[in-house]
Structure 1
Amino acid sequence: MPKKSNSHTHPAQQESDGTRPEPTEQTFPVVGVGASAGGLDAFTKLLKNLPADTGMAFVLVQHLDPKHVSLLPELLGRASSMPVAEVSDGTRIKPNYVYVMPPNYSLAILHGVLHLMPRPDGLGKHLPIDDFLSSLAEDRHSNAIGVILSGTASDGTLGMRSIKLEGGITFAQSEDSAEYDGMPHSAIAAGHVDFVLTPEEIGKELVRIARHPYLRPEETGPRGELVSEGGDNLNKIFVLLRSRTGNDFTYYKHSTIRRRIKRRMVLHQLEKIEDYVKYLQKQPGELDALFQDILINVTSFFRDPETFDALQQEVFPALIEQRSAEQSLRIWVPGCSTGEEVYSVAITLLEFLGERASNTHIQIFASDIDDKAIDIARQGIYPESIRDVIAPGRLQRFFVKTPSGYQISKIIRDICVFALQNVAKDPPFSRLDLICCRNLMIYLGAVLQKKVLHTFHYALRPGRFLMLGTSETIGSFADLFATVDKKSKIYAKKSVATLPGYDFTTLPHAPMSAADQTAPARAPSALDLQHEAERLILTTYGPPGVIINQDLQILHFRGQTGPYIEPSPGSASLNLLKMARQDLVLELRSVVNQAIKERSKARKEGVRIRSDGGYRMVNLQVLPLAEEGATEPHFLVLFEPSNETPAVSPRDAETPDTTNLRIQTLEQELLSSREYMQSIIEEQEATNEELQSANEEIQSANEELQSTNEELETAKEELQSTNEELSTINEEHENRNLELMSSNNDLANLLASVELAIVILSDDLRIRRFTPTAKTLLNLIDADIGRPIGNIRPNVNIPDLEKQVREVIDTMSAQSSEVQDRDGRCYTLSIRPYKTLDNRIEGVVMSFINIDSTKKAEQMHQILQQERRLAAVVRDSHDAVTMQDFAGRILAWNRRAQEMYGYTEEEALQLNISVLTSQKNQEEMRDLIERLKRGEHILPFETTRITKDGREINVWLTVSALLGESGNPAAIATTEKEV
């Protein structure tokens, strides 16, 4: 049945000259035009190329001086064939009119009515073009058209993005025709522009678009017919897309895809979907453009801030408490788009961890089917406009300023791995702690929603978390996920016993070779025999039983439970009460409910059941299972045969004993039924209260979902998949390996070319890297990398090395000292803190500079100075000063010695000291020399000397030994004073 038209135009109102009728206010397009410096001339040229009956409304938003009255309406009215008016608050737009925003306001549109909004204060950033275009996209959706003309800066870029995401059409003035190309260039560079034309060409293209049937519902009937009637053609487009991109959009929401197809048809002047299919076949590049249009990359930093608060308050604390020291913290963000959501999660996690972040191994996986978005996310570079949504503290800590905007710091990019992946068909990541999938499910059909939810359930660790968007829910999959925070849409994985519903492709079994068939059987080991013996004992003597959860679903069978449990007719079920034999149901229900309610073991003895034409007794016991880290309780139900009462056959049923027994049994069953009914009444009352509360919440949720979600249908299907993580992140690793290889090559060549001994230590004092010169000096080998520096025995004496390094790390100030190696060579040891690019201290850099030659030169200079001073003292002394070796040869002779003994210095240096010694003192002097050789100290004494002319004189003699370089006596020095 065709839809009724909303047009209020009477046929008599149509012009006889063939002009088209007035479009309804809900259907005609609205063109938002943004301009700044140089925009008046561009807009004038645009208006001159527009007729009076385009069927569109035009709204001009320009940067104006807030203190001056605008003359734009008057100036533009001269160039336009349409009426031009300045906007007043509450103006309802009409087609074939031009509206100009007044100064000192911002502009918004709601249900076709223009509203003047207060201009932000001086501290706020005034972006009137972005504000209006974003408002226009929300109000008109695919009927919004954006145009950016000449201007500086980047106002309008985000607004153009909003229009394109809603299925609208966007234009930008060509940069060479713009007087100021800042605004057009920004929009074009961001990839949000469909047409780049001169103002004259933009006007002509708008006229062509205005005549397209998609924008003329009064001629084509209801709006969806262009595409909705072509179901087969839509499937053909899906086939072409799958062949081109490898992605199947069959089970995506068709309403969204139809809008995107309509948009592409408008751009290419195609009126029938059949023609568009042919166009796709001829132009494969259009498939890429359609693919990009279908991928709705709607994301931003810290979208819905209260959701990230919930992560810090409810999810991250639980993950840290349940994590072992060696376990990685693994997070997956499917449908990551350009990465803002991924980095927001990473920043929130690092802020929560604080100082614990360095000791926590974090892995954040992000995936998307859009390779262009993945490339942007890997680079992590975003425009300067993110300053409006990110707090200054976060911006300073986690971002680095670049010429084109801001880049995520390397410490965050290192923990985020981006990969191309289709969540609906590719193997997921596994052993995850958190999956953050926000606003992806709303674009998927019911079938894909089922598959994706089962994928998430498989990929999560038990009890870990799934976070969905504000317009999404798990629907009827409450058996897979438990609600943690309903407002923030956070859920926890449940343990379920259902079998997977996903079909895997299995490889054919290889035939056995002859060698395999004739190979001798392996002899059982002692451990195998022990296990077999334990199995027989449990089978023979252990009571049969089952493991159940609190929903009474059987998770595991233990032993032969056939006498007590059997499949029931009808739909297959693993519910304990549905599978239990009829005689056991009442007692079993009672004892299980008691154990679940009290969380303790419960037992029921003497339950009579039919067996082999008679009756026998069985004891029921329910035991809670203590499981570490379990999110829901499990219970072991045991069936223990009882020998207290013998079996009774139906033939003996009339005897008094059996009658009494039957009465007792019925009384027990009645008592159990009463207890069970009482518990059911209590549970029913509690359930009614919960249902009443749930009903109110459901009504509220339905109101939200009705306004944001077009279709929500979910059903139950299970999925099991395998994880091939290395194959999905291989591309990312290759890129990083190339960067690391280049950096390592540069660093290795730099260190090899520097002839200095340099050692880099980590903050735990382990060796990270060293130069070739440091090998010999510090006695290092290549295997020492990673060893603590305290375990190394270097060839250099460095006292308190570890203490010095710790002081440098703690104080962040360099230290310098002089050290010596075992050969006596001197070095200057410099210890400086090792700083990362983000200004963190992660160790020290030790460098050794050889100063041995400089040190020796200083020492030699000091010795020469000392020798000169000593020579002057000896030469001018009032006592005779001589020096001789241990053979008696005179080595030094001062002026006073010449005066006392008559020999000149030249004569004395040719003599032996014995010429000065009298015959009677010769033996005394030889004994004196031997004592000096042994290092003994000789006290001054009086003796006799012989002069050159043969006179004997008495002298006071002081004798001392001179030491050589080895520290042993090498010569004798004497001081002689005449008595």
Structure 2
Amino acid sequence: MTRSSRGADNPFAVVGVGASAGGVEALQAFFSPMPPEPGMAFIVVTHLGQGYESALPQILSRSTKLPIVPARHGEAIEPNRVYVLVSDSVPTLRRGKLNLRQSANRHEYNPIDVFLASLAEDRGEYSVAVILSGTGHDGTLGARAIKEKGGLTIAQQTDQTAPRYPDMPDNAMASGAIDLKLPVQDMAGKLVEYVQGLGTLAVSARGDGRSQRDRIANACQAICDILRDELGHNFAGYKERTFLRRIERRMQVLELRDIEDYVERLRQDRPEVVQLFHDLLIGVTAFFRDKDAFEALAERVIPHLFEDKGTSDAVRVWVPGSATGEEAYSIAMLLLEQMAELKARPKVVVFATDIDDPAIGVARAARYPAAMLKDISPQRLERFFTGDGVSYTLSKDVRDLCIFSSHSVIRDPPFSRVDLISCRNLLIYLDKELQQRLVPVFHYALRPGGYLFLGTSESLTQHAELFAPLDRKNRVFQRRDHPGVPLGLPLLIPHWRHGLLELRPVVRNQPGLPLRLVAEGRVIEQFAPAHVVVTRDGDIVHFSTRTGKYLENAPGVPTRNLVAMARRGLRLDLRTALGEAFEGRRTIRRNGVHVELDDRHQVVDIVVEPLPDNHQELLFLVVFCDVGAPLGHEQMLPASIAEHAASTEQLESELREWRERVQSVVEEYETALEELKSTNEELLSINEELQSTNEELETSREEAQSVNEELNTVNSDLQRKVEELDRANDNLRNLFEGTEIGLVFLDKELVIRSFTPAIKTIFNLIDLDRCPLLTDIVSELADLNLRNEIEPVLANGKSRERRVVRRDG
């Protein structure tokens, strides 16, 4: 009975080895130190060209004592054997048996991802992923799937013994899915050690020895206490077997034998506490992870995003920490389902951001192994995916909604005017200080009434005043539009603007100041017109005295914007003057502006003038000059009627002119917009074609590189055999020339192929005679018919001896 048929009581580890360009050399170094009975099975998956039959089994058989066999469909996996993919089929593992599926288009698959994902589903914690030399990101998703199931992941170290093509191991490491980074020649020893200790901790916890069980239980409780004290998360209710497996894996990575040693390590090494915490929370970006939470989002949030929105409006969603895209695409599918019920559809954009560029590359490809889509309903799978049961690609409708970009939610400015932020299981990776900084950022980024969607282990206890809970259980919150204490974003002010925000002391009459400065300051303070200094945005950076006559605080949140603070009657002319001054960088005047002062009116002249460019930011001086004394309502009425009559015609003329200009601009804008839309669609189409072509060329290059490496290895073997044949031929030649026995070698047609020098005394041969018939050569033997002697030997294969004499006796 083979070990593969012993059932789940005595399982063995299965190692999936992924390699591409540069993989032959790495695979030879990987298997060379492997012992004959390592206690695990190996399945090697590489990138192969269509129709190419790999010679890798013959090549690897010279580097290891392990049996190397080609992978065959339906074959049961046994330990201590190496199975090598030799054709361009797509391999998977199901119930301990290999399944090989021929691919109609090999460019649609990442065979390493597909196999590792199926390995994770089939073997669980007894699965191991090894990522060796290669280009691209194949293997990243598969390694994450194995880590989620509690298996071990190893990547070829990219320093010292660097792989020839480091992209595949580098991308897998950048995604956070790799447990060990090792030189390829050190992997065999580590794997053997790992397999020998696999499952021992969980077995001890369930064993018969009470003291051993109690010791492990106490250690687990101590680990839970450390996680709670250091990170504020309680894992007391975590599944015992999974919890022990995560601990056991970290112990094996750190080469620790005793769980109490690991507890002591946690007490002294906070980064290890964080690493264990990450391991306990892996797998948080699967499609529709936490089904109940996504159902709550679809029912209570998604429909409200489209309320009162038409084709000219937009629905904006932000998914920070999007990793490989599963969460962003899940929300995009919910949005498309809601849009299908609408007659007028607004523009929908899902901004998916992450700091992990390789993960963003995986997300943009939108290609996932079937084993990673188990949480997607058959209806959604059919509607939003295309595939054949092995690998699936998201439809263009879903991909078009999502924009993936590199962005740090901590370092970079946030998106704005967002309707929904889905930040699931990102805050738990940050300390409390960063969490307190990010929640106000999310509040700022959302529109009034916007929604925040968090993970099940996250909460907003620190900033409850900013968000109202919509569904506490599923962590759905709604933005409070009027928080009790207004919170702003941390200001990142360029050094050259610091002077604008400094508090400057008022100049006073102090002893020692020159009389002229004192007098001029007094004149400016008492007799100069009121004025302010503003930026291009209209924000006031300096007030003079007596500005209260023209400005007042606006209701609501305090502001320093000049137009918002302007009194009634002043705002329209002030806004127009500022706009013209900002655009033309010239002095603008507005005369005869009426400002309402409670029960009186003041006629004011406004001057907006750019200040000399002493700063990198242009500033403007706004001066208010009174024209006469304030007038009451009775005094203002006759003057207002005459003034209004005179200006009405001018205003109507200006209005007609502006309407014509606006109409012309609108027509030009619409024409340009149509052209831009057409151009954008063409560019999108061209970009998709180029991206598809680039992927095919990249895959073909990898396949050609792998084939070339195999051919180089085979060529080296053939060259070595040719050298061996040359040496053997030289030895035979020396033997022929040194022997005194006459020998002649014939083929079936009695044609001479070779002979020794001694035969020349019997047959009249010279060194050039290699092809004539022996029967045509004159011999010194009497009464001998060679044909009659040789033909019976050729017929029955039996040797024949006969004594002969020379003609000369």
TM-score relative to the length of structure 1: 0.41
Which of the two has higher C-alpha Rg? 1
For CA contacts below 8 A with separation 6 or more, give which structure has more relative contact order: 2
TM-score relative to the length of structure 2: 0.49
